[in-house]
A and B are shown apart, each in its own frame.
Chain A
């Protein structure tokens, strides 16, 4: 046969032990095929590391450098424990959204796995980082590593000057509010190491002078007595709690503001990742699958290689059913991979149903359609736009309504004609960070009174706040320096005070 003949000529090495030459050969071929498919990537930088280094990277949230904090030590211990006991394989890869795009390969992996990781991380994730609008808007691949170096040095310097404990307490508080330390809608300015350093001193001076507004003791005459007529501060609710703290907390020292800012910036950097898990992982799986299959079709890969590859691939994209023991929600790898595969299918061989549901993409060029989808969506909108009846049927998705006022759960939709849209809507909402996480914003600061800060929680579908609120509120009070209140605005518009955390001594530890 023709294929066999070709195979003899140039099959790539198929041993399980890897060598640098072998990795290089695979990489060259994968890069070539990726180029043929038109994947637009940052230049990849492949780094080989040991399992321990992989755990290090894991522990510091996947970044090559990070500041020191006990919580990273805790993560390291957890990972280490899991790994030593063999409960958990380490992730195949860590890939960093930077330019050049750093992809880590682990020493223990076989050659097949290394090739898989190269295709998955160095081409799949990499092109997603470069193309997706969220990453383009919110992160700056050229500057992140520099910024982390700056952050690490700055925090180390603060530790030296103000003591480790002090810095640690501050970081604890910032970490507690990290998820609420992001701008969801505003576009951030670009980061740059040089500019950061240059502007830092200017900024601290300026900030300190602005804080004095809060200390103004002279009464302003046009303010009329009575609560209703008092203007609120901030005039509009502020969604970014850490930003508000950085700019307005009355008692923070300049260095503390800078640390708040660092945590906030890092939270912002990870914000797109939290919103594109399904798309991003699915995209990477789709591409490692597509690229390696193309190489196989060209006769470059041995059958043994393909078998090992397919086995790991199917493990990763497996979706257990709701009643299986290892069910843990919808597997983002599985959903993402199926959806990308499905979009390609809709483009290449649409059925009648597809033409009815997706008239604009059925039969179009699949590369262009996939690129468009990858660039312009996040999980929430991606599911809302592209989840097809076929995928819903294949995964046998169904929705369950759990209302605490009802005695029974209700199956609200299943994979049938009436249910497709509903399932799609609910699944899309599940990926909406706005509904997944409580919506808490800065509502008011009592400028004329005790300088207390009021946070307002907008209730969503009657869901209450979870158990750790008082801990988080203590952290908020520590940052703010005065009493902090948390109110919930119920869906009927009524306001309820949920928690009030007072600071007894200034700068002391908050007590309840």
Chain B
């Protein structure tokens, strides 16, 4: 007897475990590849997976094999020109006549990269890994749409867990009263009659006995009304509503003077990415404004923001002024949630730092939901930091953090999340 079995609906993802093991095993390489990938990505582009490539030699499975050399005598097909005894020049290494099957596989492709695709979740997971985000926030960020469940009255059906006892019992009571009222009226009448009969004819008169039987029957009827019935049940009704989202604008302000090297920019980029991701789950529509500055500030597109190099001195206030102008002209208060993120190595022209503080204090912070300043420097805090420190007490929507490694970015966000997730 033959069997034809349909296995198409059997458990899928049988290889998921093996895939995880693979990822765990090559975590170092994958992480490196992810951080390379981040360099090339737009900060708005975090909803996709990523093509990852790692050198195949890192993940080879070694075996005892013959190497090159010695004597090889092998058969090939399709002779079109040779006769026995012909001498042929050796083809250049690796190509040409090549070797037989067994050899081709372990020599030809040795140098290629092993390329595979990471899903969005896997990508973000590795991205977050560096930033030392706690799990709760990871999952919050990785979620794409956010719904809020809210109460919406009561329904007549639902899951038993949602039964609203007070409502149900109230309904039951009302029903019992309504159904029972003719009988209770009758009962009251009978009781009166009985009292009258007893007074007139005495306890044991046949009339009294008949009335008592009647009363018992009516009582039984009242008791037969069910205490609770399935149509008394009321369930709490909850509906999912998308969270009210509005629009936000995010200002990325970065110092691009000579002292900001690629590595510092990469750290700054992570910070901006994370802020974007955070805003992305809170607001439906986000605009990003990139402002870069050295001695003068300029609004640029993202590519120029991260990739073109400048040199020269630093006047931070120029950028803040520009930011204020942009806010005033394009993002009138009220309609827009304004977020600011400033990254710098803290180097500023000495006389300019108090001006920056002044600007933030009066022109920018009052309009911002949140303004975060990160100083990417391994050394001592610079003058800008000292000035900004004075703002800390006065404004709740201001945060600052010194960063040496990407993992230091998180504390800034902890503040931010505390506020909005609470």
Contact = CB atoms under 8 A, between A and B. Distances in A.
Interface string B58-72: 011111111111111
Nearest to B1: A43
Contacts of B4: 20, 23-24, 27, 46-48
A409 B97 contact: yes
Contacts of A404: 68-71
Interface string A398-415: 111111100111111111
Contacts of A419: 84
Interface SS majority for chain A: mixed
Nearest to B108: A328
B76 A322 contact: yes
Contact of B101 (A60, A329, A414, A437): A329
B64 A462 contact: no
B77 A322 contact: yes
B106 interface: yes
Contact of A397 (B6, B8, B12, B79): B79
Given A328-B104, A408-B88, A466-B106, A323 B78 contact: yes
A168 interface: yes
Nearest to B100: A329
A369 B336 CA distance: 87
Contact of B8 (A107, A408, A429): A107
Interface in A317-352: 319-324, 327-330
B79 A398 contact: yes
A330 B98 CA distance: 12
A69 interface: yes
Interface stretch (A184-192, A204-212, A255-263, A468-476): A468-476
Contacts of A27: 2, 4
A251 interface: no
B335 interface: no
Contact of B78 (A49, A72, A321, A418): A321
B65 A330 contact: no
Contact of A175 (B61, B82, B99): B61
A463 B258 CA distance: 57
Contact of A440 (B60, B64, B115): B64
Contacts of B15: 55-56, 59-60, 72-73, 76
A15 interface: no
B420 interface: no
A90 to B, nearest CB: 14
Contacts of B143: none
Given A68-B18, A73-B15, A461-B71, A472 B87 contact: no
A497 interface: no
A467 interface: yes
Given A69-B21, A176-B61, A396 B78 contact: yes
A410 B21 CA distance: 48
Interface string B87-111: 1111000000111111010100000
B307 interface: no
B83 to A, nearest CB: 6
A200 interface: no
B85 interface: yes
Contacts of B148: none
Contact of B82 (A68, A402, A414): A414
A44 interface: yes
Contact of A463 (B67, B114, B117): B67
Contacts of B85: 410-411
Contact of B102 (A436, A468, A475): A436
Nearest to A415: B79
Interface residues of B, number: 66
A370 B180 CA distance: 94
B338 to A, nearest CB: 43
Contacts of A73: 15, 17-23
Contact of A466 (B20, B67, B116): B67
Contacts of A47: 4-7
A76 B18 contact: yes
A118 to B, nearest CB: 10
A503 interface: no
B25 interface: yes
A282 to B, nearest CB: 15
Contacts of B12: 50, 52-53
Nearest to B17: A68
Q: Which of B62, B67, B86, B88 has the most A CB atoms < 10 Å from its CB? A: B62
A71 B23 CA distance: 11
Q: Which of B24, B80, B82 has the most A CB atoms < 10 Å from its CB? A: B82
Contacts of B59: 74
Contacts of B100: 329-330, 430
Given A23-B4, A46-B4, A410 B87 contact: yes
Given A49-B7, A70-B24, A411 B83 contact: yes
A323 B19 contact: no
Interface residues of A, number: 98
A466 B21 contact: no
A381 B419 CA distance: 78
A27 B5 CA distance: 13
A464 interface: yes
Q: Which of B20, B69, B83 has the most A CB atoms < 10 Å from its CB? A: B69
Interface string B32-71: 0000000000000000000000000001111111111111
Nearest to B86: A411
A324 B59 CA distance: 31
A164 B64 CA distance: 26
B66 A409 contact: no
B150 interface: no
B72 A402 contact: yes
B75 A423 contact: yes
Interface in B304-352: none
A45 interface: yes
Nearest to A409: B88
A511 interface: no
Interface string A10-54: 000000000010011001000100000000000111111110110
B380 interface: no
A426 B83 CA distance: 17
A410 B102 CA distance: 20
Interface string B371-389: 0000000000000000000
A50 B8 contact: yes
A363 interface: no
B143 to A, nearest CB: 26
Contacts of A179: 63-64
Contacts of A427: 75
Given A70-B21, A76-B18, A77-B22, 20 more contacts: A43-B1, A53-B12, A70-B18, A71-B22, A107-B8, A178-B63, A323-B78, A397-B76, A398-B76, A399-B74, A399-B75, A401-B71, A402-B74, A410-B85, A411-B87, A426-B74, A438-B66, A463-B67, A463-B69, A472-B64
Interface of A: 20, 23-24, 27, 31, 43-50, 52-53, 55-56, 59-60, 68-74, 76-78, 80-81, 100, 104, 107, 164, 168, 172, 175-180, 319-324, 327-330, 395-404, 407-416, 418-419, 423, 426-427, 429-430, 436-438, 440, 459-469, 471-472, 475
Interface of B: 1-8, 10, 12-15, 17-26, 59-80, 82-90, 97-102, 104, 106, 114-117
23 contacts: A20-B6, A45-B2, A46-B3, A46-B5, A53-B14, A77-B114, A78-B114, A78-B116, A321-B78, A399-B73, A399-B75, A400-B88, A409-B89, A430-B102, A437-B65, A440-B64, A460-B70, A463-B69, A463-B71, A464-B69, A465-B66, A466-B65, A475-B62
- For the complex of A and B, 4 pairs with smallest distance between CB atoms: A321-B78, A329-B101, A73-B22, A463-B70
